Amino acid sequence: MELELVTIGTELLLGFTVDTNSAFLGQALGEIGVRIARRTSVPDQPDAVASAVREALGRTRLVITTGGLGPTKDDLSKNVVAELFGLPLEFHEEIWEAIRARFARMGRTLSERNRCQAEVPRGATVLPNPRGTAPGLWIQGELGEVIMLPGVPGEMRGLVTQEVAPRLRQRAGGRVVRSLLLRTTAIAESTLAERLEPVEARLAPLTLAYLPDLDGVDLRLTAWESEPGTAASLLEAAAGQLREQVPEHAYGLGEEDLASVLLREYRTRGLRLAVAESCTGGLLGARLTAIPGSSDVFVGGVIAYDDEVKRELGVPERILQAHGAVSEETVRAMALAVRDRFKAPVALAVSGIAGPAGGSEEKPVGLVWFAVADAAGCETFRMVFPGSRHDIRTRAAQYALWRGWRRVLASATRL
């Protein structure tokens, strides 16, 4: 089952508002088996709204609109759609009373402008909106059906959850669109695609999408139009097969964060972790401490940004002199020093050139050295990351987490 979405608002097209409503609707409808076939955004102009809604009805006969139900003069969606369906607007006393009561409760003055929010196209179903003044409307006619929702995110969400989804679920008849995200890191998209090829060829009817970002490549598996139970088991089985192709890179499912995966592995083993950060400047610590309950694993660390702090931490002056702050020797000394100072079983250190300035031919912007130290010793890694200062730092924090995670899993295998 599919429908089209028309989002109405000049501010959406000017880019003053990021359209988070569409993402919410996509997920909420997908979960009950309704697919958004197309989304159109138009400004608050009668002609633009009318043509977008008419065209969308022509394709799917079922359309959800958001926005344009407010009390100001650029809120004209309702009038446009009523005219499209040839329906007169009727004043509903009980809606007006609800609006008045709401304003009274908040101690606000009601304006005559709000009266238009109590007008309803003849025969439309009124969807109560306790979070705001404008109710949702479900309009039916020869052209099909239009479900009109307010654009205020909290109001729209409440109406979808309480009024729209329950009604649509019955019609969609149980078949759903479900997705599952498998998260990978520290592997290039093209290499990943090669490694996954044998499994990918056998995935149908599931589809696979590659979603690269700074933390790695997320793989989205989607089951289209399937039974809810079947969808879940198909997705899990497929995710398992993909995971086996890249076990060292596939770290989690769904919204799972690598920091949280790392913390769980450490916690299981009773290990604790300290960090010494130069170019990431606190980002690695921030990633770890963003996770609730991180304090039982994460000890803390040193932001060794200036060489003065590196020296104070215990990096020997001769190493800084001979090799520089961004070097294998320095990052190893940082990891060992922070491990010993804070008596942590495992320590991670990062030192690199985040740019935009500070690069040279020998040490380009993007060069980052990593060290992971534990009781067994210290491993170092060299990477050159592309992108801006922000990109390089984000990638470096993620890579450090990845190395910290792999080190502990590898040690487990070794011992």
Q: How far is the CB of 348 from its own copies (least distance, A)?
A: 12
CA distance linking residue 265 with residue 94, whole number of Å: 58
Burial of 166 (0-12, 13-18, 19+ CB in 10 A): exposed
Q: How far is the CB of 204 from its own copies (least distance, A)?
A: 13
Question: What track of x and - describes contact with its own copies for positions 391 through 410 (by CB under 8 A)?
Answer: x-x-----------------
Among 8, 32, 34, 41, binds its own copies (CB under 8 A): 41
Query: Applying CB under 8 A, does 72 fall inside the site for its own copies?
Result: yes
Q: How far is the CB of 224 from its own copies (least distance, A)?
A: 10
Q: How far is the CB of 149 from its own copies (least distance, A)?
A: 15
Query: Applying CB under 8 A, does 244 fall inside the site for its own copies?
Result: no
295's CB contacts (< 8 A; 6+ apart) are 289
Q: Which residue number, 63 or 124, has a Cβ lying nearer to its own copies?
A: 63
Is it true that the peptide bond before 205 is cis, omega within 30 degrees of 0? yes
Query: Applying CB under 8 A, does 285 fall inside the site for its own copies?
Result: yes
CA distance linking residue 60 with residue 200, whole number of Å: 31
CA distance linking residue 257 with residue 236, whole number of Å: 18
Query: Applying CB under 8 A, does 53 fall inside the site for its own copies?
Result: no
Among 85, 298, 399, 402, binds its own copies (CB under 8 A): 298
Contact yes or no for 209/219 (Cβ under 8 A): yes
Question: What track of x and - describes contact with its own copies for positions 183 through 222 (by CB under 8 A)?
Answer: -----xxxx-xx------------x-xxxxx------x-x
CA distance linking residue 59 with residue 4, whole number of Å: 8
**Identity of the amino acid at 156:** M
Query: Applying CB under 8 A, does 289 fall inside the site for its own copies?
Result: yes
DSSP conformational letter for 57: H
Query: Applying CB under 8 A, does 100 fall inside the site for its own copies?
Result: no
- Paired tokens of 344: 């942590």
Query: Applying CB under 8 A, does 22 fall inside the site for its own copies?
Result: yes
Among 8, 186, 223, 284, binds its own copies (CB under 8 A): 284
Among 294, 327, 330, 398, binds its own copies (CB under 8 A): 294
Among 141, 228, 300, 314, binds its own copies (CB under 8 A): 300
Among 134, 160, 302, 315, binds its own copies (CB under 8 A): 302
Contact yes or no for 373/334 (Cβ under 8 A): no
Query: Applying CB under 8 A, does 64 fall inside the site for its own copies?
Result: no
Query: Applying CB under 8 A, does 66 fall inside the site for its own copies?
Result: no
Backbone angles phi, psi at 68, to 5 degrees: 80, 20
Q: How far is the CB of 140 from its own copies (least distance, A)?
A: 24
Query: Applying CB under 8 A, does 36 fall inside the site for its own copies?
Result: yes
Q: 292, 302, 301, 303: which is closest to 263 by C-alpha?
A: 292
Query: Applying CB under 8 A, does 295 fall inside the site for its own copies?
Result: yes
Query: Applying CB under 8 A, does 25 fall inside the site for its own copies?
Result: yes
Q: Which residue number, 100 or 125, has a Cβ lying nearer to its own copies?
A: 100
DSSP conformational letter for 114: G
Of the listed pieces 134-142, 228-236, 300-308, 406-414, which binds its own copies according to CB under 8 A?
Answer: 300-308
Runs of H (alpha helix) within 160-251: 165-172, 189-200, 228-245
CA distance linking residue 116 with residue 131, whole number of Å: 18
Query: Applying CB under 8 A, does 255 fall inside the site for its own copies?
Result: no
Query: Applying CB under 8 A, does 341 fall inside the site for its own copies?
Result: yes
- Paired tokens of 30: 């997908």
SS3 for 25-43 is HHHHHHCCCCEEEEEEEEC
